[in-house]
Each structure stands twice: as structure tokens, then as C-alpha cells.
Amino acid sequence: MKTTRTIDRRPRLLYRWLYPAWAAVFSFSPVFAVPYAKADMDIFDLIFQGVRIIQLSNLADEQEIALGQQINQQILQDVKVFDGSSITQYIDGIGQQLVPGTDRAQIPYPFQVVDDDQVDAFATVGGFVYLNTGLLRAADNEAQRASVIAHEIAHVDLRYAIQQLQQAAIAQGTLTAGGLDHNTAISLGVELALHHPNSRTHKLEADEVGLVLLTQAGYAPIAAVDFLQKLLDQPNTFPDFLSTHPHPEAEARINALNEQLDPAMASTGWG
């Protein structure tokens, strides 16, 4: 557990100031794609030019980031990214406050808001994190939003997307001794991100790491429990949540988080 790194616990006032913009900005939802620097694309071209096979078992950070950029480009063709720079900046501010507590703080973490009413969030290889507007609206406060972002960052920190790619490629018979064709890796990465929830074990472990990140960033850790409990207690309000997070699984996550919490410190911090 990563508890030794010193994290600046001071709240980012700029992003807290942006909070009142939610109601106004969320009333508009045109299609929006997040641009990436040409340099990023050059990195991908440099790494994969003439290289058709990816070794997932020893993928370097630069290769993972480049692969994630390609997966992200495909995802942006399938989802509608929320058009609201102040909200994106607000979410990015929360995320960047959480990242320093990870073991992979050296990679970039692009945070994107998806215009979708479903209560959901997901992450893919290379640090790309996506949060639905439905989830952001469902949260009662910033600490609850931060708890979800911390959970998704933890999936990246633990390299679970790479593990999923390996397992899916093995199941499909597309992973050879030489590695995985990079076009197959891209298509599999998109499919896994959009249509295949993480395993119960991965969610529990990401909850554990996410709670540490949340606490180190200065948020009240009880927010992680409160948000899950709210979604579980209001199935008629959030029916889509239980479709991807079955009741027993959600209860198991809440119980595990409660066991990890120090009751004396559970409500300490920004919330």
C-alpha cells in the first residue's frame, strides 16, 4: 500500500470555484472530441512504424501510452464527449490532485467527460480515464466524484487494462508466442473499455488503492462508501448502476471499504 509519499493536501481553490458552473454547463451537450498534440501522434508513429506485434508482458510506458492514444481515438468515435471546458478542467483538477499518490505518476492521465446519463466510469491503457455525466450528477459532492476518479486511476496504476487485454487475447486465440498484433490490441482495448466491466477482484483491489489515493489527496475517505451506498439504496433512481454492478458485488465493495477505513479518520478531509 502506497502511504509514504507526501501529498499536498491543500484543496485546489480554482476547481472548487468552478463547481457552481455544473448546472449551467450541463444543459448543453454537443459532440466534442479532445484534441491531442501532434507530438503524441508522432510518438505512436515512431514506436509502431513497421512494428505489427506488441509484447503485452513487457510493454514500456511509452508503448502503453501510444497504444492508449490509438484506443482513445476509436473510443471517441463511439461516445459523445461532453462539451464543457470548465467542467473538464474541474475534473482534470481533481484527477491531477490524486495522481501523485500512484506508483505510475510519470505517465500522463487525460481525464475526459462523456455525455451519457448512465452512472458509469472506465479507464483504459496509457492512463486514459472517462467519466459519464450521469455519474458526476449522481455524486453529492466533490469527494464522492474524487472517489470514483481515484478508483479508475487505481485501475491504471495496477495495469489492469493490460491484464484484460492479455486474457481476452488468450481467450480469442490471438495472442501468440511472438505477441499480439497491434491492430487487434486496439480493437480489443476498445471492446473491453466500453462493454466489459472489470472483474470483482479487480474492483475490490482498485477500491483499496483508490481509498489511499483519496485520503492522501485530502478528501474524506468516507465519501467512497457513501457514494456506493447511495447508488445501491436508490435502484429506481439509478437502475443502470445495478446492471453493471450487481447488488452482492456492490455490498462486498462497501463492506471491504468499511473494513479498510479508520473510523476516527473516515470523515476527516474535504467532502
pTM beyond 0.95, yes or no: no
Residue 2 lies in a domain: no
DSSP 8-state secondary structure symbol assigned to residue 29: -
Residue 20 lies in a domain: yes
Residue 233 lies in a domain: no
The arithmetic mean of pLDDT across residues 193-221, rounded, is 95
Residue 268 lies in a domain: no
Residue 44 lies in a domain: yes
DSSP-derived 3-state class of residue 128: strand
User: CB within 8 A of 166, min separation 6: which ones?
Assistant: 56, 57, 175
Residue 1 lies in a domain: no
Total number of domains constituting the chain: 1
User: CB within 8 A of 237, min separation 6: which ones?
Assistant: none
Residue 143 lies in a domain: yes
Task: Please say if the pLDDT value at position 213 is more than 90.
Answer: yes
Residue 43 lies in a domain: yes
pLDDT in tens, 153-179: 999 999 999 888 888 777 777 666 556
> Which is more confident, 217 or 21?
217
> Which is more confident, 222 or 8?
222
Q: Bridge-partner residues for 113, per DSSP? A: 131
pLDDT in tens, 38-49: 444 444 444 444
Place of cell 465519501: 223
What pLDDT is stored for residue 39 in this prediction?
41
Task: Please say if the pLDDT value at position 2 is more than 80.
Answer: no
What pLDDT is stored for residue 236 in this prediction?
82
What pLDDT is stored for residue 28 in this prediction?
36
Task: Please say if the pLDDT value at position 19 is more than 60.
Answer: no
When computed from its CA atoms, the radius of gyration of the chain, rounded to whole angstroms, is: 18
pLDDT in tens, 42-85: 444 444 444 455 666 678 999 999 999 999 999 999 999 998 89
The b/e string for 46-79 (b: 16+ C-beta within 10 A; e otherwise) is ebbeeeeebebeebeeebbbbbbbbbbeebbeeb
Q: How many C-beta atoms surround the C-beta of residue 171 within 10 A?
A: 9
Query: What residues make up the domain containing 94?
Result: 14-27+36-198
